[in-house]
Amino acid sequence: MSVAVTASDSLVVRTVPIADPGDLIARLPHPAALAWIRHGQGVVGWGEAARITLPGGPGRFADAGHRLRELFGAAHVEDPLQIPGSGPVAFGSFGFDPKSPDSVLIVPRQIIGRRDGQAWLTTIGTGPHPHPLAHPPAPPTQLAWSDGALSAPAWEQRVAAAVERIRAGHLGKVVLARDLYAQAGEPIDARVLLQRLAARFPGCYTFSVAGLVGATPELLIRRSGGRIDSLVLAGTTARGADTADDAARAARLMASAKDRQEHAYAAEMVRDALAPLCAELTVPAEPRLLALSNVMHLASAVHGRLDGDRSVLDVLAALHPTPAVCGTPTATAMDLIRELEGMDRGRYAGPVGWVDARGDGEWGIALRCAQISGTRARLFAGCGIVADSVPADELTEAQNKFRAMQYALEG
């Protein structure tokens, strides 16, 4: 597999502590933003010191790691902090399908980070670092909506076809996604979407990488030294109209055999994928409820300690794709997705996040997101289909999941 790397020269990297920068998103000077933020902490970047593009293939995570080690290993680095996210960092987003040619890692020219009371500025590259002229963010206007690859009734028919395959014993679960388009009057500024998402969903991981913008509730993997953490989400319901309705919906979700089965598939796969990499691994026996502003999920928090010097990209290679975004068995589900969805997901439902020179990083699954291209936004939403799934109910769930990005665009 060939991997394209573009960089001017050997990178010169300098990290310095700074005073609290305040709102990280507000520090972004340009719509082409790079970001990974939760509860006001994280990293943002702009400019481009290097870019790694990867074609599809089963070795893309290993090749990405190899190219980054070469790039960062040749760099001259001054980093007195030596904490996750300091020093050189690459923001990345991988295609969902191993055949996808959309995977990319971007090393920005400037990074501002904040974690556990510490803040820092990292400059990367050779030559001067002029601060770009600030472009004030402007909300999208004149939005017009249209169907993506499939209309709602056509997508329901595909869900019904998937249920038939599952009941016939071909597979246990498949995740089917829909897309939806928004057309704006002027180019869409990622910073506006980031600000709205971070304010509305502070507990989610708000991200922006190469035009893919969203707020995912699902932490695929965090590596900090030898420790790893993952949050498995599968099984969803909308929030209630009032407190009583909310409590009733939560109780039904926790008691739902369909949603419990869907969640069990995802949690078991994460356990099986991580166990060979870990000296210690803790997976809860029962899921808990995770309530967001628009939906509730069944959630399992997984913790472990790696048994060797493995980068976060090595762990990604073992985890992706999970049953939460693909299905089980994985190969059968992937083939059915290619057959039924009628579209290329691109980087939707693929890993998104960042990795530093030590191999630390945080990566989520690119959910509740949109691909921004000029004046156009392509939104995505997916649902886990099992034997007793009802197509109309799955369509309602997908529409609920679209709402996060519809809010980000409409305000």
pLDDT at 2 over 50: no
Kindly state the average pLDDT of the residues 84-113: 96
Kindly state the average pLDDT of the residues 104-129: 90
pLDDT at 8 over 70: no
pLDDT at 6 over 80: no
Is 218 catalytic? The answer is yes
Q: Which helix (H) or strand (E) holds 338?
A: helix 330-340
Calpha distance 356→205 (Å, rounded): 18
Sign (positive/negative) of CA torsion 282, 287, 291, 296?
positive
Catalytic member of 218, 262, 394, 397: 218
Kindly state the average pLDDT of the residues 244-257: 93
Question: Is this structure's pTM higher than 0.85?
Answer: yes
Calpha distance 227→218 (Å, rounded): 18
pLDDT at 127 over 70: no
Q: Which of 201, 182, 195 is nearest to 139 (CA)?
A: 195
Contact status, residue 54 vs residue 3, Cβ threshold 8 Å? yes
What would the two tokens of residue 14 be?
């300098």
Is 173 catalytic? The answer is yes
| pLDDT class of 128 with cuts at 50, 70, 90 | low
pLDDT at 7 over 70: no
pLDDT at 184 over 90: yes
**Domain spanning 4-129+140-410: CATH 3.40.47.10:** no
- pLDDT tens figures, 211-229: 999 999 889 999 999 999 9
Residues near 332 by Cβ (< 8 Å), separated by ≥ 6? 170, 171
Burial grade of 330 (CB within 10 A; 0-12, 13-18, 19 or more): middle
Calpha distance 30→380 (Å, rounded): 25
- The secondary structure of 149-189 as a DSSP string is SS-HHHHHHHHHHHHHHHHTTS-SEEEEEEEEEEE-SSPPP
- pLDDT tens figures, 255-311: 999 889 888 888 998 999 999 999 999 999 999 999 888 889 999 999 999 998 899
Kindly state the average pLDDT of the residues 139-163: 97
Phi, then psi, of 69 in degrees rounded to 5: -60, -40
Number of residues that this document lists for the chain: 411
Catalytic member of 70, 156, 164, 173: 173
Mean pLDDT of all residues belonging to the chain: 93
Calpha distance 392→144 (Å, rounded): 25
